[in-house]
Amino acid sequence: MRILLVEDEKKLVELVARALRAERYAVDVAEDGPGGWQLAQGYAYDLVILDLMLPGLPGGELLRRIRGRNHQVPILILTARDATLDKVANFEAGADDYLTKPFALAELLMRVKALLRRGPVARASVLRVADLEVDRLTQQVRRAGRRIELTPKEYALLEYLVTNPGRVFSRAMIIEHVWDQSFEGLTNIVDVYVRHLRGKIDDPFPVKLIRTVRGVGYGLDEGAA
């Protein structure tokens, strides 16, 4: 098992690297953000241990880059901060676990073992239907390689449909998942948003993906006529 450790506190690097090597892991160390990114691009790691406060490139940015390139490698964040907001932001950006400094080496090793045991996570950040790509991490949408700008609600609607290609969703199901419980408008809001979405992801392309099922609702699949 090969681990990438990105941390700029020399003492901590020494301690952690020694402890990991004693457990017979191979450990590569980068002491700044750009060095970490270079290693992450060059080798297939089984685990990344990443400090958030790094010179050269913030750890959060490095996390997003590594996750954007490799959806499966487990990432353990080390940080002095323990603000809940940071944690949420970093989990959303693809961190798997979080350890606040100072920590006991035994706890770090325990978490490392747990993450390695779990192995690569099938995160499937990018959902694909035909030539449509929806990246749930960056919330970017592309069709035939072209970037498509959606409003937050249009995106949420599309993500819901793309999650289960071929399935038909009633307007009530769509409202329940895409709007929230406080929504008390008319179900034709769904028709309105489907029309907006079609205008962006279907109308400019020869093959239509969003399907209307009369009397039932909507679905999305590979090439409806």
Place of tokens 């606040």: 100
- Chain residues 3-22 in contact with Ca ion, contact rule CB under 5 A: 8
Rounded CA separation 218/149 (Å): 21
124 backbone φψ class: left, alpha, beta (φ>0; ψ -120 to 50): left
Q: Which residues pair with 218 in a beta bridge?
A: 169, 212
**53 binds Ca ion per the rule CB under 5 A:** yes
State which residue, 7 or 202, has the beta carbon closest to Ca ion: 7
State which residue, 8 or 202, has the beta carbon closest to Ca ion: 8
State which residue, 81 or 177, has the beta carbon closest to Ca ion: 81
State which residue, 32 or 131, has the beta carbon closest to Ca ion: 32
Work out which of 46, 51, 133, 159 binds Ca ion, going by CB under 5 A: 51
Contact assessment for residue 118 and residue 72, using Cβ atoms and an 8 Å cutoff: no
Least distance to Ca ion from the beta carbon of 36, Å?
11
State which residue, 35 or 219, has the beta carbon closest to Ca ion: 35
Q: Which runs of E-coded beta strand occur in the chain? A: 2-6, 26-30, 47-51, 75-79, 97-100, 126-129, 132-135, 140-143, 146-148, 168-170, 208-213, 217-224
Binding segment toward Ca ion, per CB under 5 A, in 2-10, 23-31, 40-48, 102-110 = 2-10
Least distance to Ca ion from the beta carbon of 202, Å?
47
CB-based closest residue to Ca ion: 53
Binding segment toward Ca ion, per CB under 5 A, in 20-28, 44-52, 105-113, 201-209 = 44-52
Residue 90: both structure tokens together: 């970093």
Number of residues that bind Ca ion (CB under 5 A): 3
Do the bridges between strand 75-79 and strand 217-224 make them parallel or antiparallel, or are there none, so unpaired?
unpaired
Binding residues vs Ca ion (CB under 5 A):
8, 51, 53
